[in-house]
Structure 1
Amino acid sequence: MSPRPARRTQETGIKLSADEIAFVRSLVIYEDPDILALNKPSGLSSQGGRAQVHTLDELLWAFARPGKARPRLIHRLDRDTSGVILTAKTKPAAGFLGKAMMARKFAKTYRAIVTPGAPQPPQGVIEAPLRRDEIGREAYMRVCPPDHADAEAARTRYRTLGEASGAALLELDPETGRMHQLRVHLASIGRPIAGDPRYGGALVVAGHPVPRLMLHAAALIFPHPGGGLKRLEAPVPADMAQLLAALKLG
């Protein structure tokens, strides 16, 4: 049976098509009474998109029950980053997870394709403060001295999983959650993420076009509102898997 379009509500004014409802439901990787997790594709804004298309936050109305609010996003991913993203289905769950996030009880693991090869050393920690820099309507993050007035502490662990001619596959564990942190930290050590021209990333690697930012949120570990720790994983999307295979990194 085809999914029915959501009704336009006075509170939101949002109306989802049957295709949009089917699309966002196809992204679900885990659901229970407290939480809903999705594998966000690259190109979909988590919130606040400028284009005349619905953001993930708006698409979550597809899961709202009559008279109830939609699931609430617990964290965000950059528009061009793919991977696991968590929502809370109830207000108590949202409060619990929000406090856990603030207490840094979430552990996030990413995969990234970088150029021109593996970092040296092949694993380590990048600990460089960041500051926000706005140019017109665009926001960037920059590495800055610790004593800069706008400096925010940022720390990223990395590990090389594989290396090929002109590229490497890294596992990344951010210990802080600054905007564009992984992208800027890797660029700061001369290993920008492929497909990230904003921070110096290559658009072609070993003769292979890079279709988008090669950064994927692969796993998330967090305290579950019902007790214990929960681990969620999102499979690498097809475009990234194809590039990994072409580079003999997959």
Structure 2
Amino acid sequence: MKRRTFKAEQAGLAVGAALASELGISPEEARRLVEVGAVYVAGKRARDAGARLGVGQVVTVVLEEAGTSSLAAPVPALALRVLFEDAEIIAVDKPAGINAQPSEGRVGESLVDRVSAYLGSEAGLVHRLDRETSGVTVFGKTARATSALAAEFREGQARKRYVAATGPGLPERGTVDLPLSKDPSRPGRWRATRAANGVPAETDFQTLHAGPEFCLVELWPRTGRTHQLRAHLTALGAPILGDSRYGGAKQAAGLAAPRCLLHAQALQLRHPRTGKPWLVEAPVPEDLRRFFLAAEVEPPSGPVAPVPGPVAGGT
């Protein structure tokens, strides 16, 4: 990745003008760098090429990533599937393949960008899904709502239901309570084991279909650790199909697994204004639904009601 960092030398200069001057590019190219999400001011992604800079503000520009110029990146698509919206909150169906939030390490849009563009104001992110995971994601529209929603996740009050297609061999149901720690031999991967000094993690699960080639499983994470479901299912010997990082197969029963087939199907919270239970669900996407159809199993729906079982998993 190539990037340039510089400080604004005068107050009131527009972001686009500063970029054009510093990089020796045209105003149109500077504006496009902002549009594709390649520009950060004081560590925060810039959204307006006309925004004014203060003296000494630090500007970072991602010029190239993975050998591709940022100017070649596609302009963010604004299509958004809204599952629920009122004056305080908005819930959307995150597609697979998009980051939950922007980062300097990746050029282009994120789900926060899409929702903020839709709202015309900054969306309040309160939880995240992995890039390849699809499904329900909720945002606050006001500072009060964002704070209340974030507290529910932090305090473990938010109930979540995921569905996934995995390799064969899952037990009928159970609870995995293996701690998680970074795998020193495989960067970017987490291991579920009691042999390391990991963070506590618990997942309840129920197998909806157990076939010779693949399983379909319903999961209720009690904690919200990074890669928790992926690592726990791998520890059970049934990594999620399409999850190359954890050894998931790319196909099963003649069906392709083009990505990690994990979907956040339902989220149950207390509404920040009324305090009443509030449920939102996201339809199972086509790539995962094909496995449900092949198994002749209906995806779960309705209130999130975990079914704890015997402790499953190894050491």
Residue of structure 1 equivalent to 2:189: 140
Q: Kindly state the Cα deviation for residue 127 of structure 1 after the two structures are TM-superposed.
A: 0.7
Structure 1 distance, partners of 2:117, 2:184, is 34
Q: Kindly state the Cα deviation for residue 56 of structure 1 after the two structures are TM-superposed.
A: 0.8
Q: Kindly state the Cα deviation for residue 198 of structure 1 after the two structures are TM-superposed.
A: 1.0
Q: Whose Rg is larger?
A: 2
Q: Which amino acid aligns with 2:158?
A: F
1:110-163 CA distance string (max 9 Å, x none): 00111124x12x001011011123668x421112326x44x1001000001123
SS state at 1:20 partner: coil
Alignment TM-score, normalising by the size of structure 2 = 0.68
Alignment TM-score, normalising by the size of structure 1 = 0.85
Q: Which amino acid aligns with 2:193?
A: C
Structure 1 distance, partners of 2:184, 2:89, is 35
Is the CA contact (8 Å cut-off) linking 2:213 and 2:252 kept in structure 1? Answer: yes
Q: Which amino acid aligns with 2:134?
A: S
Q: Kindly state the Cα deviation for residue 249 of structure 1 after the two structures are TM-superposed.
A: 4.2
Q: Kindly state the Cα deviation for residue 53 of structure 1 after the two structures are TM-superposed.
A: 1.6
**Which deviates more, 223-232 or 43-52?**
43-52
Gaps of 5+ in 1: 1-6
Is the CA contact (8 Å cut-off) linking 1:63 and 1:70 kept in structure 2? Answer: no
User: Structure 1's 15 and 161: CA in aligned 2 closer, same or farther, altered over 3 A?
Assistant: farther
Gaps of 5+ in 2: 1-33, 50-73, 299-315
1:20-68 CA distance string (max 9 Å, x none): 22x12xx111001110000001101102354422111122221334xxx
Which residues of 2 match residues 173-212 of structure 1 at below 5 A? 173-212=220-259
Alignment match of 2:142 (pick from 90, 112, 119): 90
Residue of structure 1 equivalent to 2:204: 157
Structure 1 distance, partners of 2:244, 2:259, is 10
Alignment match of 1:40 (pick from 79, 94, 99): 94
Within the alignment, does 1:238 sit opposite 2:313 as a pair?
Answer: no
Q: Kindly state the Cα deviation for residue 12 of structure 1 after the two structures are TM-superposed.
A: 4.7
Is the CA contact (8 Å cut-off) linking 1:168 and 1:249 kept in structure 2? Answer: no
1:160-214 CA distance string (max 9 Å, x none): 1123331111000000011000011011011111111211111110222211111
Residue of structure 1 equivalent to 2:119: 64
Q: Which amino acid aligns with 1:196?
A: D
Residue of structure 2 equivalent to 1:4: none
SS state at 2:278 partner: strand
Higher relative contact order (CA 8 A, sep 6+): 1
Percent identity of equivalent pairs: 35
Is the CA contact (8 Å cut-off) linking 2:75 and 2:108 kept in structure 1? Answer: no
Q: Which amino acid aligns with 1:205?
A: A
Structure 1 distance, partners of 2:276, 2:98, is 31
